[in-house]
Structure 1
C-alpha cells in the first residue's frame, strides 16, 4: 500500500461503493471529503480516481489560492479536459447555460461520471452556486461528486452550501491523522523510536513525509522544527537550476499548464531531480507541487524582491498567451507590484466575475483597482466606484455600497456634468432605503430625476423614476407611486429596451393591483416576461416577491402561497438562494394566520436570524410577524423581539412594517392588561393609516379598537385565522362559546390569550375551568422549549449545526444561537456534556 494511504481503507471503500451505485443505476452520490492541510485528501482522491477510470469518466477541477479565485475556475479545468457542453456554456458566459451544461456532463446514461473538485474552501461564489445546484440533483444522476475542503478554512458561503447538501445520497467523510503505529511503521521503526516524530508531526501524513524525506529513512530520524524547515532542507539538496525553477513555480498557485511551465522554465528537464525526489509532479497536462503546503512553504521564504521578479515573469508569460484568465493576470500583477497592469486588467477581470455571479471576487478585483486610483482618470474612477457599489449591493453589503456610491457622486460633482452626476446618484436611493434611511433615499431619487430629466429619455432616468415609485409605494402612497411608475414606463418604452422597462412595469403592476385594478397582474406578468428575456434574475425574483407581498396586503393567502411557490421554483432551478428568504417570509406569515404556529415560528426565526446590526429586506418584512407570534405564544424573548421589530419599523417609516409591528404592540399590551399602552399604539396606528387605501389594515385597527372598548365587531367574519376567530368567540359572553374559544387557544399554544379567557370564564361563574396542556418548558427539569428539546435530540444523534440547519430549514447562525441556549440552560460547556446531562435526568434525546 502506498504510504500516503495508510489507514484509509474505509474511506476508499466508501468512495468505491458510491461509484458502484452510480454504475448499477441505484443513484448518484455526493462525497464531502474534509480534513486539515496535509492529511491526505488528494492522495485518497487520486487512488480512487485511478480505480474509477476503468469504467467511468473522470473529470477533475481544483480551486486555486489566488488573490481572488478564478470565476468558475474548477469548471474551466473540467471544460479543458473535454467537457464540451460545459465548455460552450462557459464561453457564452450565460449563467443558466452554465448550470445546465454542468448538469449535462453528469447525466450521461451510457457511463457513470466522477467529478472531483478539490479545495472548495477557495472556491468563488459562482462555483459554489454550481456545486450546490449539482449536489441537490445527484440522487437521480449516474454520477459521483467529490468535494474536498479544509474544515478550518470553511467560510460562511461554503458553510451555506454544505448545509444545503443533505439527504441519503450525501456522505460526509472527515479524514483524521495517522495513528502512532502507522507513523512508526512508515518510519521503519517502532512506536518508541518514532515517538519524537509522531509528537512533532501529530500524525499528519504530509508533515511525516517531508520530515522523512530530509533523512535517510532510518528509524532514528532528525526532526526539523517546522514543515518549512523540512521542505527547505529538501530544496537545498538540489542544484541551483532546479532550485530556481521551483522558486518560479512556487509563485503560481495550483497546477501550471505545460505550455506556461515551458515558457517560464525553458525546459521541463530542469525539474527532473525535483520530480525524482517527489517534490513535484509532471503530468500530461500540467506541472504541480506534490502538495500546496510545500509550494506555500517555499514561496514564504523568498525575499520580497525576488518574489516580485518571479511574479513579473509569470505576468509577462500570461499576457503573451491568448484567452488568459484575467483573474490570474491580476494576481501576478499585484505580486509583481505592477500597478499599471492591475489598473489595465482589473476592471475586465471584475466584470467577468460579476457576469457569472462571483460577486465577492468582483468586489475584490474592483478594490484592487480602486486602491490604485491615482492612475485612473476621474471619470473612470467614478465609473468603477459605481460598478463596485453595484457588486456590493448584490451581496447585501449596503454600507460598503453607500461609501463607494458617495465617493463616485463627489467625483462627478467636481466634474460638473449633470447627466453623469445623475447616473451616479441613482443607486443611492436603493442603498439608503436598505440602510433604513427612507427619507434620504427619496430625496436622492428625486435629485436623480431632476438632474436627468433635462437631458431627455435615457435608461438612467427610467431607473431613477422607478426607484422614486418604489419609495413612494413603501411610504404607503400608492397613487403617487403609480403615477411615477407610469411616467417611468413611458420613458422606457420610448427607449425600446425591454430590460429597462421591466422595473417600472413591475412597479406599475404592483400598485395597480394594490389599488384594485385587475390589469395590474398582467403588468406584473409582462414585467417578468421582459426580465426573463433579458436574463435579469434579480428583476425576475422581485416580480415574484412583489406578487406575494401585494396578495398578502389584499388578504389572499392562497394567492400568496402560489406566488411563493413559483418564486421558490425559480430559485431552486437557478441557485438564487439570496432571494428565497423574502419568499419564505410570506409563506411563514401564511402559516401564522392558518394556525400552524410551530412551523411558522421556526421559519420566521430562521429568516430573521440574530440581532447583529445587519437588517436584510427579508428581516424587515419578517420581524413584525415574528414579534406578533411570539407575543401570542408568550415566548421568553417576545418583549425583546417586539422592541427590535418596532425599532426597525419606525426607521423604515413604511406601513408594510410599521402597521404589523404596532399591532403586535397592541396585542402585547392588551394581553398584559395595559390598556393605556394599547390605546397609545392604536392612536399611532390611526395616524399612520390615515388615508391608507389597503382595507385590511383599517379593519384590524377597527377590530382592536372595538376590543379595547369592550364592543363587538364582525370584522373577523369569514377570516381563516383560528386565533382571531377564537378571540371573537371569547368576547361572546356565553359560556359554551367561550369554552370553545379556550380549546382553540390551547391547541394553538396561545398561552397569554388562554389565560385571559380562563379569567373570563371564572367571571362568568364557571367553577371547573379546564387547566389546559402542560407546556414543554415545564415538563422538563431544565426549562427547555420545544424547539430546544428538538435541537438537543439532534445533537444526541451526532448532527452538526450545519446539518441541523439543513434539516430544520434554518440558518446556521440561528442553530448556533439555539445550541448556545441549550448549553446555557443545561449549565454545560460542550455538546457531549449536554447530551450526558439530559440523559442523566431522564430527559429523552432520541428525537421522538
Structure 2
C-alpha cells in the first residue's frame, strides 16, 4: 500500500506526458533513508504501459562506487547486450545517439544517486543539459540528508536548466496515513508517528515487532534484532552472511551456501529479503546494515571471504572487479587486493572515473612498503596520477610522487625518475608554487639530459617552455619549445608536438611576430584531427588572446565563436568560461563596455570555476567598471589585482597594473600610479608584449609618472607617435586599428578647444563617464554640463539574431520540433527551417543540441 504519494506520482506522469511537446525532463526524488523513494519509483514503473521503453538501475553502497555502474546497467537494458563493457565515449556520445534515435519517450530511473561515482554524476549532468532535445524522462532518487554542501551531486543537478527539472521532497506519513497502515496495532497512530517520525520503513519495522512485548524498540536495529531472534541460529547466520553484499545477490550464490534456498524462502516470507529480477536483495539498505552490524570481526571476515571465493571461482570480469575489491578488503585478503585493485583502477580510468580509480589504488598504499621496489613505485605513481586528477593535489599526492622518484632511483629507471619529477613540477604549479615547479622541471631535464629521445624528455622540455611563456620569458619559451617540438616529431608524440607548437606560436605572437599564428593554427589542426580536446581548447584560448593583442579583432571574434562552440559541445566547462571571459575582453577592446560587463558578470556567477578560469572575467569587470565610473571601481580593481597575485603570472599582473595607472589618470590622482609604475619598472620591458609596453608608456606619461625601464623600449606605431607628442597622427593610428578609446584620448591631448569638444563627445557616445570627468579636471576648461549620455547602442543581440530568430530560438531551446514551432507561430515550416539554419550559422553550431548548450553557457544570447 502506497499512501500519500498521489501528488509525486502525478508529477512523474505529467512529466512523461509532456515530453512529446516540451522535450525531456528530469525528476529528482529526495528524502531521508526509508521515506519511500524506492517504493515511489517502483510504483511509477509498474503503472507504465507494457510497451513503454524503460530501464532502472541502482547505485550500490560499495566501499568504492562501481565506476559508471548505474549508467552501464541502463545502457545494457536498453541495448539488451551485457556481454561487453562499453567504452566511456559509448556511454556519453553513444548513449546520447541512442536516445536521440528513440521513436518515443524513454523512461530512465536511477535509485540512490548519492552513492553514484563522480563519472556517473558527470553523465547525469551531460544528459540533463541536453534534455530539451531528448525524448527522455529521467527519474533519480537520493538521500538529501547524506548529500552535504560539498557533494558532487549538487554540481550535477545545478548544471541542469531549471525548466528541465523538478525536485520532489517526500514528506513523512501523516497520522491519518499511519492509522490506515496500522490496522489493529495496540499503539495509537499518534504514538507511532511520534516514535518513527512518519518514516514508512521505520513504521514497517516497528509494526512487524512483536506487539506482545512490554515496550517498543528504540531503534530500527533493535526492531531488526528482535525479529531476527525469532529465527533459528542457522537462518540468522545465513542473513548475516548475506549482509556483506550490498545490492543484488545472484541466486546462484544463494545455492552455494548451506541450506541457502530453504533459508532464502524463510527470509523472503518474513520480509527480510525480496526478489530483484533473477536476484535477491535485502528489502532495504537500512535493514541490511542493521543485520551487518551484528557480525563480530572474525565472522565478518569469514563472510566476506565466502563471497570473494565465489567471485574468484566464477572469474573476475571487468564488471565485477569492484565487488572483488570490496570483499577482498572485508576479508583482509591482501594477495587478492594487490592483484585485482590495479585492474579495477584501470577499468575505472578507462571510463573516466578517476576518483574511483584512486580509491581502488588507495587500498594498496598501506601494503606498498613490503612490496618490491618496482611494483611499489608503479602503484605510488598510478595512485598519485588518479588522485591528482580527481581528488585534490595535497601533501599525500606530492609524497607519493616523491616516493616513486626515490624507488625508481633505487631500481635504476632514469626515464621514470624524470617523468615523476616532471609531474612534481606540474603538481606544484597547479598549487601556485611557481618556484618549486621550476626547480622540479629543471631536475627532470637534468635527469633525462644526454639520454636518447623519449616521451618523458620531450614532455619535460614542453613543460619548461610553457612555464617560461607564462612568466613572459618568451625567448626561453621558444628555445625550449623548439627542443620539445623536434623531439616529439622524432618519436611521433602528437600531443607533445601540438603542445610545443602552441607554446612557440604563442610566444612569437606575444612578441609581435605574426609567423606564430601559423604554428598555432597547425597545433589546432593536429589537436582537432587527433581528438586532443584540451590541446585544442588551449589553442583557442592562446590564439584568440594573441589576435586581440595584434588588433585583428575580426579574426579574434571568429576564432572565439569557434572555440566557445567547440568547448561547449565537448563539455569543457572550465575552458568554456575562460574563453567567454576572453570574449568579454574582445568586447572591451571594441569599446562595447555594456556587453563586456554583462558577460564578465555572468561568468563570475558560475559556481565551481577555478581562479585561473575566472581571471579574464575578473580583469574585464574591474577595467569596465573603471571606465564607466561605476561605484567601487577602484576597490574592484584592487580585488582583481590581489587575486592575480595568487597566480603570480605577468600576463594578468601587468594588465592590472597598467589599469591602475589609468585609474590614476581618470581620478586625476598621480600618486595612485606609483605602486604600479614601480612594479612595471622592476619587471622591465622584456616581460611585456609590444602592446602592453605601449599601454604602460601611454598611461604612465598621462599620469606624469613615466616608467624608467620603458624609456627606450620599442613601441607599436600609434603609441610611439603619442610618446613623441604627435597626437594627431597617434589618434589616426589608433582609429585605424579600432582603438577608439585611445584615439579619443590622443585627440584630447591635442588640447585645443575643438579637439577637447570632439573627445568629450566621443567619450559620451561610448558612455565612459570617467574619461569625461578626467577631461574636466585635467584641462580645467568648462565643457558644458556633464549630461548622462546614452551609451553607444550595441546590436540588438551579440550574435545579430533578428527578432524572428530569437522567437524561433526560444521555442527551439524549449524542445519543440520545427513542425511544432511552425504550428505554434502560424508560420510555414520552410520559414522556420530557414530561421533555424540561420541560427546555426550565427552561433557556429552544427545541431540543435549544441544550440541549447550555447544558450545555457551564454544566457545573454536569449534574453529572459
Regarding TM over 0.5, the answer is yes
Q: CA deviation at 1:436?
A: 2.4
**Matching residue of 1:717:** 735
Does the 8 A contact of 2:35 with 2:200 survive in 1?
A: yes
**Matching residue of 2:479:** 483
**Could you tell me which of 575, 578, 586 is aligned with 1:579?**
575
**Residues of 2 paired with 1:582 and 1:259: CA distance?**
53
Q: CA deviation at 1:444?
A: 2.1
CA deviations over 1:390-414 (Å, ceiling 9, x no partner): 3344348333543432332233345
**Matching residue of 1:18:** 15
**Matching residue of 2:4:** 7
The DSSP-based 3-state class of the residue aligned with 2:581 is: helix
Does the 8 A contact of 2:484 with 2:496 survive in 1?
A: no
**Residues of 1 paired with 2:365 and 2:258: CA distance?**
33
**Matching residue of 1:764:** 781
**Residues of 2 paired with 1:734 and 1:83: CA distance?**
78
CA deviations over 1:183-223 (Å, ceiling 9, x no partner): 2322237999222211121112222122112145x9x9954
Distance of aligned partners of 1:529 and 1:161 in 2 relative to their CA distance in 1, 3 Å threshold: same
Does the 8 A contact of 1:62 with 1:119 survive in 2?
A: yes
Return the TM-score normalized by structure 1.
0.82
**Residues of 2 paired with 1:497 and 1:532: CA distance?**
15
Distance of aligned partners of 1:10 and 1:767 in 2 relative to their CA distance in 1, 3 Å threshold: same
Q: CA deviation at 1:689?
A: 4.8
Task: Structure 1: give runs of 5+ residues left out of the alignment.
Answer: 774-805, 812-846
Distance of aligned partners of 1:455 and 1:563 in 2 relative to their CA distance in 1, 3 Å threshold: same
CA deviations over 1:109-160 (Å, ceiling 9, x no partner): 3343211111111211221222222122222222211121122333442211
The DSSP-based 3-state class of the residue aligned with 2:28 is: strand
CA deviations over 1:147-189 (Å, ceiling 9, x no partner): 2112233344221111111153322222222222222322237
Does the 8 A contact of 1:350 with 1:361 survive in 2?
A: yes
CA deviations over 1:371-394 (Å, ceiling 9, x no partner): 322233223323333333333443
**Could you tell me which of 433, 439, 442 is aligned with 2:429?**
433
Does the 8 A contact of 1:499 with 1:536 survive in 2?
A: yes
**Matching residue of 1:91:** 85
- Give the alignment of 1:175-254 within 5 angstroms: 175-188=170-183, 193-215=188-210, 223-254=216-247
**Residues of 2 paired with 1:183 and 1:653: CA distance?**
63
**Matching residue of 2:351:** 356
**Residues of 2 paired with 1:261 and 1:79: CA distance?**
27
Return 401-410 or 742-751, whichever deviates more. Answer: 742-751
**Residues of 1 paired with 2:403 and 2:540: CA distance?**
33
Q: CA deviation at 1:328?
A: 2.2
Structure 1 position 492 matched with structure 2 position 510: no
Return 428-437 or 705-714, whichever deviates more. Answer: 705-714
Distance of aligned partners of 1:601 and 1:330 in 2 relative to their CA distance in 1, 3 Å threshold: farther
Does the 8 A contact of 1:18 with 1:144 survive in 2?
A: yes
Q: CA deviation at 1:74?
A: 0.4
Does the 8 A contact of 1:63 with 1:123 survive in 2?
A: yes
**Matching residue of 1:405:** 401
**Residues of 2 paired with 1:204 and 1:746: CA distance?**
66
Structure 1 position 691 matched with structure 2 position 686: yes
The DSSP-based 3-state class of the residue aligned with 2:224 is: helix
CA deviations over 1:784-823 (Å, ceiling 9, x no partner): xxxxxxxxxxxxxxxxxxxxxx999699xxxxxxxxxxxx
CA deviations over 1:657-694 (Å, ceiling 9, x no partner): 22112123323444454413404412422443513573
Return 508-517 or 382-391, whichever deviates more. Answer: 508-517
Return the TM-score normalized by structure 2.
0.80
Does the 8 A contact of 2:358 with 2:387 survive in 1?
A: yes
**Residues of 1 paired with 2:97 and 2:244: CA distance?**
35
Distance of aligned partners of 1:283 and 1:528 in 2 relative to their CA distance in 1, 3 Å threshold: same
Structure 1 position 388 matched with structure 2 position 379: no
Return 500-509 or 359-368, whichever deviates more. Answer: 500-509
Distance of aligned partners of 1:340 and 1:35 in 2 relative to their CA distance in 1, 3 Å threshold: same
Distance of aligned partners of 1:381 and 1:529 in 2 relative to their CA distance in 1, 3 Å threshold: farther
**Residues of 2 paired with 1:239 and 1:303: CA distance?**
18
**Residues of 1 paired with 2:309 and 2:750: CA distance?**
85
Q: CA deviation at 1:338?
A: 2.5
Return 458-467 or 30-39, whichever deviates more. Answer: 30-39
- Give the alignment of 1:64-463 within 5 angstroms: 64-81=60-77, 83=79, 91-93=85-87, 95-154=88-147, 155-188=150-183, 193-215=188-210, 223-263=216-256, 267-322=260-315, 323=317, 324-395=319-390, 397-400=392-395, 401-463=397-459
Distance of aligned partners of 1:134 and 1:204 in 2 relative to their CA distance in 1, 3 Å threshold: same
**Could you tell me which of 477, 497, 501 is aligned with 2:497?**
501
Distance of aligned partners of 1:265 and 1:350 in 2 relative to their CA distance in 1, 3 Å threshold: farther
**Matching residue of 2:822:** none
CA deviations over 1:617-649 (Å, ceiling 9, x no partner): 324555444443454566776566544543454
Q: CA deviation at 1:718?
A: 4.7
**Residues of 2 paired with 1:738 and 1:234: CA distance?**
92
**Residues of 2 paired with 1:191 and 1:638: CA distance?**
71
Task: Structure 2: give runs of 5+ residues left out of the alignment.
Answer: 706-724, 791-853
Does the 8 A contact of 2:551 with 2:737 survive in 1?
A: no
Does the 8 A contact of 1:545 with 1:583 survive in 2?
A: yes
Distance of aligned partners of 1:721 and 1:529 in 2 relative to their CA distance in 1, 3 Å threshold: closer
CA deviations over 1:734-755 (Å, ceiling 9, x no partner): 7787678678878878665565
**Residues of 2 paired with 1:278 and 1:267: CA distance?**
16
**Residues of 1 paired with 2:95 and 2:300: CA distance?**
37
CA deviations over 1:328-387 (Å, ceiling 9, x no partner): 222222222223332222222222222222122222222222232223322332333333
**Matching residue of 1:538:** 534
Does the 8 A contact of 2:477 with 2:507 survive in 1?
A: yes
Distance of aligned partners of 1:115 and 1:441 in 2 relative to their CA distance in 1, 3 Å threshold: same
CA deviations over 1:764-791 (Å, ceiling 9, x no partner): 2356443789xxxxxxxxxxxxxxxxxx
- Give the alignment of 1:775-790 within 5 angstroms: none
The DSSP-based 3-state class of the residue aligned with 1:427 is: helix
Q: CA deviation at 1:59?
A: 0.8
**Residues of 1 paired with 2:786 and 2:511: CA distance?**
47
Q: CA deviation at 1:697?
A: 0.9
Does the 8 A contact of 2:175 with 2:193 survive in 1?
A: yes
CA deviations over 1:589-631 (Å, ceiling 9, x no partner): 234444555665565466568999x964324555444443454
**RMSD of aligned residue pairs (Cα, Å):** 3.7
Distance of aligned partners of 1:597 and 1:61 in 2 relative to their CA distance in 1, 3 Å threshold: farther
Does the 8 A contact of 2:506 with 2:516 survive in 1?
A: yes
Q: CA deviation at 1:457?
A: 0.7
Does the 8 A contact of 1:489 with 1:505 survive in 2?
A: yes
The DSSP-based 3-state class of the residue aligned with 1:115 is: strand
The DSSP-based 3-state class of the residue aligned with 2:141 is: strand
Distance of aligned partners of 1:211 and 1:475 in 2 relative to their CA distance in 1, 3 Å threshold: same
**Residues of 2 paired with 1:157 and 1:211: CA distance?**
35
CA deviations over 1:492-542 (Å, ceiling 9, x no partner): 122124344332233334334445555544443443454455544333332
Distance of aligned partners of 1:191 and 1:591 in 2 relative to their CA distance in 1, 3 Å threshold: farther
Return 541-550 or 527-536, whichever deviates more. Answer: 527-536
The DSSP-based 3-state class of the residue aligned with 1:371 is: helix
- Give the alignment of 1:46-65 within 5 angstroms: 46-65=42-61
Does the 8 A contact of 1:238 with 1:274 survive in 2?
A: no
The DSSP-based 3-state class of the residue aligned with 1:225 is: coil
**Residues of 1 paired with 2:259 and 2:159: CA distance?**
46
CA deviations over 1:710-732 (Å, ceiling 9, x no partner): 97653743565676566566666
Does the 8 A contact of 2:110 with 2:140 survive in 1?
A: yes
Return 603-612 or 99-108, whichever deviates more. Answer: 603-612
Structure 1 position 681 matched with structure 2 position 676: yes
